[in-house]
Amino acid sequence: MFKNVKLVLKKSLEESWSSLNIFNHKHRGRISQKTADELMFMDSDVKVKDWENQTAKPETPVEKEDFIIPELPSGKHLVFDITSTWGDRHYVGLNGIEIFSVSGELVQVANITAHPADINVLPEYCKDPRVVENLLDKVNRTRDDMHLWLTPFTQGKHHYISITLQQKQAIAMIRIWNYNKSRIHSYRGVKDMQITLDGQKIFQGEIARANGGILGGTDAFGDTILFTTDEEILERVAQNDDSFNSVMNKVTESVKSVLPERPLTSDLPEVRPLTCPGLTKIKTESDIGGAVLCLQSMCIKLVASWGFK
């Protein structure tokens, strides 16, 4: 029996990866050519504004009226209404959603659905792993497809995520982890969003675009919406917020594990291996605390741009 279950799980995983490979193959031209060309000039302020107005602004724009976030709203049914992306005209996605109650703990969710549900609503896909349930799997600081949610995007339309809690709760904080597959794919992330709780609007505004990497504070991956300024409540949230506790403690560990994997970029025959703080201390007359390398001069050779001529 155990052997049969193992075979079923293996087959399911293989089908998911096969679906991802088909998706990447069919959309490679759209992503690597069209999207890259469109994003080539993102460093230009004027062109960024024009490009975002043409691609990210929905036909029925979100109201820009001043909105006051309520204090500790209470309810059971949350609806996230997505109306625009950060530039992608075909897909919209998220990495995760975290909801903290007034007790400081993550709320217990009874059900989560989305409309459109996910990429599998398209006729050519049926086993893509980027489903809405991934938003609650607590793996948010990632670029792994197995932990993301992606769905077709239509300009001028509404795209909904509905979350039903197990019981009525007073909400203290909601954190939105935006789509973070890569730097370019981060433009599939949510831009304009409205949140309602039992039919009452509790948030309306922009969600910050993710940076496309895995390092940085939580503000580099989306937005945190506070529904209270009570220090005692926020302290309780901080005690249960793994992301908050890990920002300062685990970033240095991540750097140590990532840096040795970086490919060499110099064509010199011999290159000194990269080092991390604390491994080898270089003694100099003027000791610079916390520096990775202590040296007198550095030469950086630029060999190519991202397409701008």
Give the tens place of pLDDT for each residue, 67-78. 899 999 999 999
Task: Tell me the residue ranges of DSSP E strands in 207-247.
Answer: 222-226
Structural contact between residues 16 and 134, judged by C-beta atoms closer than 8 angstroms: no
- The owner of tokens 């990632």 is 142
CA distances 169 to 71, 230, 232, 238, 289, Å, are: 13, 17, 17, 18, 47
Residue-level pLDDT at 19 = 63
- pTM above threshold 0.85: no
Residue 23 pLDDT class (50, 70, 90 cuts): low
Q: What is the pLDDT of residues 39-56, one digit of tens each?
A: 443 444 444 445 445 544
pLDDT given at position 295 = 73
Give me the pLDDT at residue 192, please. 98
Q: How far apart are the first and last CA of the chain?
A: 61
User: Mean pLDDT of all residues in the chain?
Assistant: 77
Give residue 66's pLDDT.
74
**Of 25, 162, 22, 159, whose CA–CA distance to 82 is shortest?**
159
User: Where is average pLDDT lowest: 19-23, 190-194, 232-236, 283-287?
Assistant: 283-287
Select the highest-mean-pLDDT range: 156-170, 243-257, 282-296.
Answer: 156-170
Residue of 189, 96, 92 whose CA lies nearest to 134: 96
